[in-house]
Structure 1
Amino acid sequence: MDTPTEVLHRVFGYDSFRAGQQEIIEHVVAGGDALVLMPTGGGKSLCYQIPALVRPGVGVVVSPLIALMQDQVDALTALGVRAGFLNSTQDFAERQQVESAFLAGELDLLYLAPERLRVEATVRLLAKGEISVFAIDEAHCVSQWGHDFRPDYLALSELRELWPEVPRIALTATATPATHAEISSRLGLDGARHFVASFDRPNIQYRIAPKSEPKRQLLEFLRTEHQGDAGIVYCMSRASVEKIAAFLVDNGVDAVPYHAGLDSRTRAAHQAQFLREEGLVVVATIAFGMGIDKPDVRFVAHLDLPKSVEGYYQETGRAGRDGLPATAWMAYGLQDVVQQRKLLTEGDEAHRRRQALHLDAMLALCETVGCRRVMLLDYFGQQGSEPCGNCDTCQAPPESWDGTVPAQKVLSAVLRLKRERRQKFGVGQIVDILLGKQTAKVLQHGHESLTVFGVGTELGNAEWHGVVRQLLAQGLLAVEADYGALVLTDASGDVLRGQRQVPLRRDAPRPLRAKTAAAAKSRPAAELPQEAAPVFERLRAWRAATAKEQGVPAYVIFHDSTLREIATLAPSTLEELATVNGVGENKLAKYGEQVLEALTA
């Protein structure tokens, strides 16, 4: 029986494990249960793939990612691993073929959607074979506190009862202490070993920009920093996805939409296109991205505020899986806060309370004057981190100022409208009153006679909108769901009575200095020696042609990091090529001669 290190080298082509992997793998190989919290790109997959290859039997991977199972199986097959999947996309003959291979012991790994385990026939099938390990991927889906709860995951606790001798490993890339505890409880893993890696992704630069014409801001961001790069743009609604995708295409950006309103064939085609082509931008709702293994996503952009820090972290984590520099960029403004606060009126009380806590944490991240990375890590229970020096608040620190008096003026305007006129209005009318604008609406309602009319001329229109945004973020104002009118909260009184100070953030006046488009486009080759850069591009061209011929994503052939190492070392023999990280036995046999030919072309 091979050791885990031997399998790592022979199959995957790596000489050493990443931090934390070896301890997890050896624990599961020895038959122990494990709960693993490790960031996207940290190497979670190896933590169950290697035990499945070392232990006798078939590793069963429970994954919600039906649309990606084929790509996951293709990637393993390219490594010489015998892998298959069972899900609702297959016809009877395809399922029968996989089931026969499982029973004959001709599989190393079998991927299942969680709902398959609720089908009695699937349970009977598994009972007839030998199972080496159960892996529960995207384990946060079992948690009500997580951002992607799925009821089918609740049934997975039964695996321990049905197969008590088979080790279980549950894995997720995102979990707060509350989510962590719930995953452990619901999956019956309280007695398992828990492995919590650092959530830091130092190669990702986190930036949140004040929202002003977000379409144009996005286009400028792409043109100046990520021209020709692959990336994901997240929007809240399907309509926004379609509009932004069309806008980008009209402005010369290769982009496609992805949302649940598209037919399944179109969604699958756009996802496959993103995985297989270089430089494509996907504009999507949060329905897109979980389990995407594409390593060279250079940016993730948000044009709408995520509902939780966990969701934001999971989505931004899809950038820079290869360890190269990547950007998590978001445009954030007053309407984002208004919209999300309005949504908090939906659902039962427990759900509303849960969502309010999620939103409060997300707003605090947006409004912080401190390091965003420190705040992210603190949210996931990783306290004591030093400022990163790489996020926007580190590079261009915003000021904090005493906004108590402006806050009192806003709250007073809301209060007087209610008391004196029995009226409620939205942000625009409140700001017009404070600025003393004699608009038609102000005159129609006689608001020019209010004592607060014109008391706010020390700030401009945009500054007042910023004040209101932050009062909403701090829970000192609320928004009515039906009409978006501003109303006071229980905390407003303390401010009005002068019993509470209101610190506010003043956004940095200057943006971060953007890289030029040319520099951004050449970034993958920029770290190479000058003579290796054209060799790297030649290898990429060979990989693209090979991937297209085989109908698989380019990274299934080799990652960029492997091609860069090949270009730098310039091996002249198969023996020398075998020393490169990411070149295992199967890939050496399959592609070795072609790589050497490309090097001498």
Structure 2
Amino acid sequence: MTEKRKTPPTGRATPKRRARKSSEQAPEETAEAATGQPETDATSDTPAPRRRRSARSAEASDEAPAPPARRTSRRRPKSEAVEPPLSISDSAPAADDDEAPESSGPGLDPSALAGVTAELEAVSDTAGLWDDDASDADDPLDFILDEGPVLDPSDPIQVAAARIGITRLHREQRRVIDSVLAGRDVLMILPTGFGKSACYQIPSMVLPKPVLVISPLLALMRDQYEKLEKHQIPVVRLDGTVRGKHRKAALERIGQGGSLLVMTTPETLATEDAVSALGKSGVSLAAIDEAHCISEWGYDFRPTYLQLGERLRLLGAPPVLALTATATEKVRTAIIRFVGMRDPEVVASSPHRSNLAFDVLRCSGDQRLRAMMRLVLRLRRPGIIYCSTTREVDEIYALLRRFGAPAHRYHGKMSGSEREKEQDAYMRRGRRTVMVATNAFGLGVDKQDIRYVLHYQSPASLEQYVQEAGRAGRDGRRSNCILLYSPEDRLVHEALLARSRIRPEQLYKLARALAGWAGEGKVPTLAALALSADLGVKIAGALLAVLEEATLVKWDQTAVYVTVDADEIEAEARKLAGQFETLRSQDARRLDSVAAYAGATGCRAVFLREYFGEEGSDPCGMCDVCRGASERPSVFYEPLEAPRNAPRRGDRRGRVGARV
């Protein structure tokens, strides 16, 4: 008689259960678009009534329960318990074009998947493939930025730094802090993992009035809020998830003023109660995190970013600190213009850190999946595997878990609770696991010991690539950034970008609807206007931001006012449509730059530095081109087995990173 076994939770629910979870999802946990925009504040996306079934509902009806996990020959410790994998054949349906959430997209090549699966099944002890690897025993390489002096207890800035656990400030950090304390506007462009948040946290302890931090990253704000509270630093978080008595208490504390860090979102800053409380207390400094979002114009564009300059003027035009990890000259100009920065000091450094080894493997056909599996076996963990579509994430995750790999997954079609669970497990100190994710994962994630970032396909831009690759090696130790490249990747990104970019015809539809309302002398709400134009609220908001920048409308969630004659609005909209064609041209140029990077015959680090405007840098000596290792066919043909030189369990020897 066969014993019935209860299938444990898989992270994928049955259709009925999944639908219930979707309705309970936290408002701010929205799916990000293919352009890589971060999650939004709950106040920013009030959906208009829809006639069509949502992509998330469709996904819920098509999902199936996952199969049980494959048994392995080694018992895994409780802390690394492996959940049963997803069914490799599972996939979500195509997304609604109007809403353009993160794309399910194409999955893995079936023949490649079958071949790799057969090879892994032939390995007698699949759990042995994933034995713990070498410890982080090497000395850290020199960081790209010079470190400043040891903290001086008589210096109030250094005393404030010590309160949040910083014993040494980099020279660039000190330069930024000194400038904002002197009342200057500062544009700060420094690498991922540099410690940009210290440049507004420290002033908040020194300045007499609140420091306002405007960020699109709710997860990062929550994380920073909890850490600052532990250090007993005065801090308030005010966003769309803070409601009722908690919101009232936050507003009251802001109104009291004094030394305080106020963390909010662009959308919350547009609300009357937030502006009133901040106006009462005054603002010493306004810090705008992820400032490059100002230049993004996709479905998930944050129109309230363009209103930041006006909002800050209402608060007395305090000094501004704009922060980002990557920005070309055009993006820098856009940030300065839209925020209204006054002769800002620009503090910038190379986007490339000296401890990162960049490699590109050109893959075709079934080589990509074979290369990925061999690299995951060879490279030190923890690691991140970035994929372009949610379907690829699910299938690679299922493959890894089927054969005992300590893996997690993360993408925008998972529920908020699922994502939080996976992220928390991956972030746990001492865990050596692999995260398979879309670009939904990583913004604001502060894990110092990530040993590699592997891109399963090329990204849509070098800006995106540097941001994501820069999550490796934040502890200063050698780490690997590997791109599996094929010219066909461009076709996927062109399709995703075509769906994520706002189209001229959508602007025309909105303009016609506006003209109709204005002709009747009526003032619509944002939701009513979106419905009458047959557009989603998020798209309508992004379009209104364009029209407002052209001084054609004034608007908020409750009212949209046309500031020109009704018969002019359509003609002006046609003139503005050229902006969208310009953006499409920029998309094409960015894809060209990724192809040029993959085909570079010189140092890859130098290529990246020159792309971001740095001249005269020396070769890194670590990338595949510098090492003369740009051709490695063995990666595609070696048998799938544990590397011969892999350390035994408990062997603490070995080096960090790997030459691939």
So what's the TM-score if we normalise by structure 1? 0.64
Name the SS of the counterpart of 2:197 in structure 1: helix
Matched, 1:394 2:631: no
Is 2:450–2:473's contact at 8 Å kept on the other side of the alignment? yes
Identity of aligned residues (%): 36
Deviation at 1:525, TM superposition (A): 9.2
Partner residue, 2:214: 62
Provide the residue aligned with 1:333 in structure 2.
486
Alignment of 1:318-329 (within 5 A): 318-329=471-482
Output the CA distance in 2 between the equivalents of 1:373 and 1:254: 31
CA distance in 1, matches of 2:447, 2:231: 16
Q: Paired residue for 2:377?
A: 223
Runs of 5+ consecutive residues of structure 1 not aligned to the other structure: 399-506, 528-601
C-alpha change, 1:274 and 1:209, in structure 2 (3 Å) is same
1:30-41 to structure 2, matched below 5 A, reads 30-41=182-193
Partner of 2:16: none
**Residue-by-residue CA offset, 1:182-203 (whole Å, 9 max, x unaligned):** 1111111252211112322111
Equivalent residue, structure 1, for 2:446: 293
Aligned pairs, number: 417
Give distance in 2, aligned partners of 1:37 and 1:393. 27
Structure 2 Cα separation of the partners of residues 81 and 146 of structure 1: 37
SS at match of 2:360: strand
State the Cα deviation string for residues 354-373 of structure 1 (Å, max 9, x = none). 10011011110011111110
One-letter amino acid of the counterpart of residue 409, structure 2: P
Separation in structure 1 between the aligned mates of residue 253 and residue 156 of structure 2, nearest angstrom: 24
**Shift of residue 12 of structure 1?**
3.4
Which digits, 9 at most, give the CA deviation of each residue in 1:369-393, with x for residues without a partner?
1111000000000111111110111
* Cα distance change, pair 156–344 in 1 and its aligned pair in 2 (3 A): closer
CA separation in 1, counterparts of 2:645 and 2:258?
52
Map of 1:368-447 to 2, 5 A cutoff? 368-396=600-628, 398=630
Where does 1:229-248 land on structure 2 (aligned, <5 Å)? Answer: 229-248=381-400
**SS of 1:17's equivalent?**
strand
1:42 and 2:42 matched: no
Instruction: Indicate the SS of the match to 1:44.
Output: coil
3-state DSSP of counterpart to 2:374: helix
Change beyond 3 A, Cα 1:95–1:23: same
2:463 is equivalent to residue 307 of structure 1:
no
CA contact (8 A) 1:370 1:394 kept: yes
Specify whether residues 293 and 311 from structure 1 end up closer, same or farther in structure 2 by C-alpha distance, changes over 3 A only. Answer: same
Change (3 A) 1:218 1:143: same
Cα gap change, 1:160 to 1:113, in 2 (>3 Å):
closer
Indicate the structure (1 or 2) with the bigger Cα radius of gyration.
Answer: 1
Superposition deviation, residue 516 in structure 1: 4.4
Residue 125 of structure 1 is matched in structure 2 by 277
Deviation digits for residues 60-105 of structure 1 (CA, Å, limit 9, x no counterpart): 1111111232211112223331223112223312222322332334
Partner of 1:518: 647
Distance 2:161 2:448 in 1: 20
- 3-state SS of 1:233 partner: strand
Counterpart of 1:374, as a letter, is V
In structure 2, what residue type is equivalent to 1:306? P
| Counterparts of 1:114 and 1:103, CA distance in 2 | 19
CA offsets per residue over residues 6-60 of structure 1, 9 Å max, x none? 3355313444321311111111011111111111122211111111111112211
1:20 aligned counterpart, secondary structure: helix
Q: How does 1:190-205 map to 2 (within 5 A)?
A: 190-205=342-357
Higher relative contact order (CA closer than 8 Å, sequence separation 6+): 2
SS in 2 for 1:382: coil
Residues 374, 635 of structure 2: 8 Å contact kept: no
TM-aligned CA distance change 1:24 to 1:515, over 3 Å: farther
Compute the RMSD of aligned alpha carbons. Answer: 3.0
Q: Secondary structure at the match of 1:194?
A: strand
Residue of structure 2 aligned with 1:137, choices 289, 293, 310: 289
- Call closer, same or farther: CA 1:526–1:368 in 2, change over 3 Å: closer
Does the CA-based 8 Å contact 1:4-1:26 persist in structure 2?
A: no
Equivalent position amino acid for 2:647 in 1: A
Match runs of 1:196-595 below 5 Å: 196-211=348-363, 212-226=366-380, 229-276=381-428, 278-341=431-494, 347=503, 348-396=580-628, 398=630, 507=631, 516-518=645-647
Structure 2 CA distance for aligned equivalents of residues 519 and 69 of structure 1: 40
Structure 2 distance, partners of 1:301, 1:246, is: 17
Secondary structure of 1:25's partner? helix
Secondary structure at the counterpart of residue 41 of structure 1? coil
Q: 1:515 to 1:308 in 2, by over 3 A?
A: farther
Tell me whether 1:25 sits opposite 2:177 in the alignment.
yes
Counterpart position of 1:446: none
